[in-house]
Chains A and B, each alone.
Chain A
Amino acid sequence: MSSKPNKSINLYALTWRLPIIFWQFIFFVGPVLFMVAMSFFLVKNYRMTEAFEFVNWSKMLSRGYFWDSYWYTVTIAAISTICAMCIAFPAAFALAFRASESTRRWAIFLLIIPFFTSYLVRTFSWFVILSENGVVNGILGYIGLGPYTMLNTNFGTLVGYMTLTLPLVVILQTVTMANIDKTLIEAARNLGCKPLATIWQVIIPLSKTGLIIAAIFCFILSFGDFVAPFYLGGSQETTLPILILDTTKSGQQWPRAAVVAIMMMGTLFAIAFTGIALAYRKRKGQK
């Protein structure tokens, strides 16, 4: 007969857990609840007044431009995730399996360095590189190509997203793959598995969890980013963060902006939970 688990409260453990629980309540749950409440408020004479009206929800969700922004944001964030994962994978693979321990450590350190500077500053530096009179078009001009319009396009937005997410995705992928048991890869090769098949059938399945987590991070950061679509995309297509700004700028409609923010959070929760479920789902027969 198995013994029942001890259900008494461990005060010592609870003491250490309490700060983070308080922190989450004060700085996450509290503001989120306030934001939900705010979405029912009204704005009168540029001042928010407490109310419980559904007008903000009906107003925003019935607007075509809201749904255009919504689907555009989902799509561009998904494209950003695919691009980041594909660009990062070869680099992470090389760092995990080909580079020495010290090279890998230095590479990860160098990948962290961009985070030391402001993302806005890094984004603005792309103006010099991508503008019509910029470095890229200057080089292309020497070989008789261009000039190409790169700023204020979807391409510009994606460059901004990569600036934000790529270092993080490379780090996450590298750390994940570096922790794979190398003997499993060697066993696959010894049993006749070709290099590409080894990647598809051994390395990717074994690093699935880390890869999905990297993808989720990339999607979340891209989905909520305001800087890249505004400055490098030129607001050509309105993303949801830009819509929040537009909504607050004119008429101080914070309650309507709250509706957009709640829709964003709902979407991110759905995607993150689905991703995590996939990441930790066990294969048939796996214990």
Chain B
Amino acid sequence: MTKSTSNNFLAKPSRRHLLKIGGAAALTMPFVSRAWAATTEINMLAWYGHGEPDMVAEYEAANNVKFVPKYYAGGDNMLALIAQSPPGTYDLILSDGEFVQQLNLAGYIDEMNPADYPLDDMLHEDFKQFPGHWADGKMYSMMLRGGHLGVSYNKNSVTAEEAASYECFWKPELEGKVGHFDWHLPTLGMMSLYNGNGASLWDLDDAKWDAVQETTLGLRQQVGGFFDYGGTFNGLKNGDMQAMVGIGDWITGVLEKDGAPVASVIPKEGGIQFTESYSIGKGSEKAAEVKKFIQYMMSPAGQVKSAQMAAYPGFCVTKGGRAALIEADLAEATRSHQVDGDAQDPITLINEGRIHYRDIPQQQSLEDWNDFWSEYKNA
């Protein structure tokens, strides 16, 4: 008769058994911890949403990496965070297009090899060598996604015809119902477009800058508030704001998917494109892993994820990405006009010359624009 079997051990473990198992577990611990340590942590500096599970969880599980996101709000804030951190703190940096040049000038990002990325598959010629992303023939950032800013409105109080011009913000019925996204750059850019500055919307001489200020001040009586992302979202959702200056589908798209009667269009005066691009932080010890992730995000599957991002949508920038989106989520592709033949197709709008890439003021300093913005808010 045997003294013990595995079955009666489970029912009644002896002290010897417990000691054996405990010892084995203790000896195994270093291997367990080594397995945990093998997970590579990638420090990401990005706008909110890019490091959330809907974007990275699948990739993390498949590649044994863990993203540690640090979120910022605004290019200035991003530059300050990098400036105040030791070199190599951030492995992956998501930046608005207009700030890439400053990242490069300050030496915060590494050169990238164009051959590693699908530049031949880009939806538009401009995206291949996007302004500021290249310097002296070297590439420093890879364009990931974009979005257009124009007239955002509630369909119950503004018609599609009215929304075809920035003029609708001055509609008498909208007094106190026009909201501002609280950042001077998109709003003043739009006012510049409304003044007919077209492609030179950021390059304003004194007379044109004065005129933009005058136009903006003329809108003040219509304004019901200045909001951050959450406030903008709430204002449109609960109907307190019927139109918004300075935003686009990146906010109304989220609400629209939720059934709210809101939309964004590019008016006849033109719209502004924000661009988000990935760069590799200078001094990063995980450049290879970061490169692999950027390649994934530029793949059709990654582009679909980006277009469907829960925090805020953006349009695909590769042909493969757009085709995959249409196949995977035709409803979202249609809603966001990412189908050929749509009059508001982002690429068509660029081709028609109605879209201008967001930039910083050329003849004034950002401080001048910000000073005016503070005056405007107090007017």
Residues of A within 8 A of B (CB): 45-47, 63-65, 68-69, 72, 127, 131-134, 149, 151-152, 230-231, 233-238, 243, 246, 249-252
Contact = CB atoms under 8 A, between A and B. Distances in A.
- Which of B179, B182, B371 has its CB near the most chain A CB atoms (within 10 A)? B182
A149 B174 CA distance: 13
A249 B374 contact: no
B184 interface: yes
User: Number of contact residues on B: which range applies?
Assistant: 20 to 34
B370 A65 contact: no
A46 B75 CA distance: 11
Interface in B18-76: 73-74, 76
Interface string B337-379: 0000000000000000000000000000011001101110110
Contacts of A230: 228, 231
Contacts of A69: 378
A134 B238 contact: yes
Given A127-B234, A235-B225, 17 more contacts: A45-B83, A63-B374, A131-B238, A133-B239, A231-B231, A233-B225, A234-B224, A234-B231, A235-B227, A237-B378, A238-B374, A238-B377, A243-B374, A246-B374, A249-B76, A249-B77, A250-B184
* A interface secondary structure, majority: loop
A152 B374 contact: no
Contact of A249 (B74, B176, B371): B74
A65 B377 contact: yes
A246 B226 CA distance: 11
Nearest to A243: B374
B80 interface: yes
A236 B83 CA distance: 32
B374 A65 contact: yes
A234 B236 CA distance: 13
Contacts of A72: 378
Interface of B: 73-74, 76-77, 79-80, 83-84, 106, 176, 179, 182, 184, 223-228, 231, 234-235, 238-240, 366-367, 370-371, 373-375, 377-378
Contacts of A47: 80, 83-84
A47 B231 CA distance: 29
B76 to A, nearest CB: 6
Nearest to B238: A131
Nearest to B370: A250
B374 A132 contact: no
Given A68-B378, A132-B239, A236 B184 contact: no
A252 B76 contact: yes
B183 to A, nearest CB: 8
Contacts of A234: 179, 224-227, 231, 235
A235 B378 contact: no
A45 B224 CA distance: 34
A65 B240 contact: no
B80 to A, nearest CB: 4
B232 to A, nearest CB: 10
B166 to A, nearest CB: 21
Contacts of A236: 223-226
Contacts of B106: 45
Contacts of B226: 234-236
A152 B367 contact: no
Contacts of A134: 238
Contacts of B73: 249
Contacts of A64: 375, 378
Contacts of B375: 63-65
A65 B378 contact: yes
A46 B83 contact: yes
B231 A250 contact: no
